[in-house]
Amino acid sequence: MADLRILVTADDFDLGAEAARLEAGADTGAVVTFTGRVRDVDGGLRHMEIEHYPGMTEVALTRIAEEAAARWSLAAVTIVHRHGRLAPGARIMMVGTASRHREAAFEAASFLMDYLKSRAPFWKKEVTAEGAEWVAAKDSDEDALDRWT
Amino acid sequence: MADLRILVTADDFDLGAEAARLEAGADTGAVVTFTGRVRDVDGGLRHMEIEHYPGMTEVALTRIAEEAAARWSLAAVTIVHRHGRLAPGARIMMVGTASRHREAAFEAASFLMDYLKSRAPFWKKEVTAEGAEWVAAKDSDEDALDRWT
Amino acid sequence: MKLQVLYFAWLRERIGLGREEVETQAATIADLVAELRAREDRYDLAFSDMAAVRCALDQELVPIDTPLGTAREVAFFPPMTGG
Amino acid sequence: MKLQVLYFAWLRERIGLGREEVETQAATIADLVAELRAREDRYDLAFSDMAAVRCALDQELVPIDTPLGTAREVAFFPPMTGG
């Protein structure tokens, strides 16, 4: 069974340390990580606020990780997601997968991201000089799930 | 134009530092990394030796990175590949991509790996108690290129 | 029965609270929404576009017509935007 | 003409050297291989299965029937196994 690590935190995380943890098994040949970060496209972003649903968040992320581990041969899965106030450039979240082979590690990481985007209870709000606005969900994110069903 | 970083080295590398470098642009929302590592499946591996073709290696890796940057909208591409003697568990190489969106970062990283496997002049040799053996190329690695053409 | 009802993101902001205890005889989540909307304008406004509302029953995503059954917690929120 | 000829991995091991200067009038890489095979058994052995040999001309992967032209460096090696 894959080693699952789920972390929901206000704090920043250390990608190098998370990757080192993923690499730990003797049979792990491939580690893929995805890191999401607060973009500041127009230069006007003061900060981002991420709200979540404590309790359900951990349950939802664990379920998504378990689903990935059931579909691909994985030694380890990591999901870290921050909440609270994040400055432009800050890391928001990461997923990581460890496997024998690159295909499984890549596909599982992509799967985790697609499900996390639309099925984990996080909501982003962007605060600019003009005010605050909740980020709208994209149809393309919902559509991305189709390729896994 | 994407920021390309190509490094061929005998030394280990710091994935966290490489990822931080990839994250540097204001417009980067997504960073994907792949790390390859010496597996010891049967417990009998003493070490791996990686030979390469100095001169051609850098040219080939740069060309692969440029091709990825031409196909996807990327802020940065990193390829690091080690050579020489590597112990079981050691990191062999990494690729990293930075983009606005996750799809481009994932696809480009997968593309880089597929080309690097079959088009960059590296050769792996496994040394066990029984002797030394050059790793055979896999048909599946050659076939993996088909999806990009 | 007594239910914990939770609101997130702009639903929380429009209704003006994140959690409340509700006494209800509603059979389904949709019935509960109808009861809440009848209460006060802020609820009516928050739930005016149900296509933009998702719900969870005891922390599991479910359709709006799901029976409340013996659930203890219902949550309402917009489509998720994590990652 | 004078060419730098390089060998890697098991080609290097079978031939017993990694690099040599070769004086040749060969028109193509395939012609050069034929010349080398005629020289000594160790070359003949190394090049006995050309399906397992790849080549580069001035550090660029090319087919075996590529003309040598004004190239200065030819390399022979098995299929690559990086990554």
pLDDT in tens, A17-36: 999 999 987 789 999 999 99
Q: Name the residue ranges covered by the structural domains of chain D.
A: 2-77
For tokens 């890697």, the residue is D8
Asked if C36 has any chain A CB less than 8 Å from its own CB, the reply is no
Assess A110–B contact: CB distance below 8 Å, yes or no: yes
Range of the domain at B139: 3-148
- Between CA A117 and CA C76 the distance in angstroms is 17
pLDDT at A142 exceeding the cut of 80: yes
pLDDT tops 90 at residue D76 = yes
Helices (H), chain A: 15-22, 56-71, 102-119, 139-144
Q: What is the mean pLDDT of chain B?
A: 95
Nearest CB to B106: which of A43, A102, A110?
A110
Q: Model confidence at B82, in pLDDT bands (50, 70, 90)?
A: very high
- Inter-chain contact A30–B27, Cβ cutoff 8 Å? no
Structure tokens at D13: 């091991």
Single-letter amino acid, residue B136:
A
A149 residue type, one letter: T
Q: What is the largest CA-CA distance in chain A?
A: 52
Q: What is the ipTM of this complex?
A: 0.94
Contacts of A138 (CB under 8 A, 6+ apart): none
pLDDT in tens, D16-70: 999 999 999 999 999 999 999 999 999 999 999 999 999 999 999 999 999 999 9
Stretch C13-37: mean pLDDT, rounded? 98
Q: What is the pLDDT of residues A37-62, one digit of tens each?
A: 999 877 789 999 999 999 999 999 99
Q: Which residues of B touch D81 (CB under 8 A)?
A: 117, 122-124, 134-137
To test the contact with chain C by mutation, choose from A8, A81, A118 the residue with the greatest count of C C-beta atoms within 10 A, namely: A118
Instruction: Select from A113, A125, A134, A136 the least CA-distant residue to A64.
Output: A113
| CATH class of the domain comprising D2-77 | alpha beta
* pLDDT tens readout for residues B17-36: 999 999 987 789 999 999 99
Domain count, chain A: 1
> Is B82 within 8 Å of B93 (Cβ atoms)?
yes
What CATH number did the domain enclosing B97 receive? Answer: 3.90.1170.40
Closest chain B residue by Cα to residue A97: B34
Q: What's the pLDDT at D37?
A: 98
Distance from CA of C14 to the nearest CA of A (A): 12
Q: Report the predicted TM-score, pTM, of the whole model to 2 decimal places.
A: 0.95
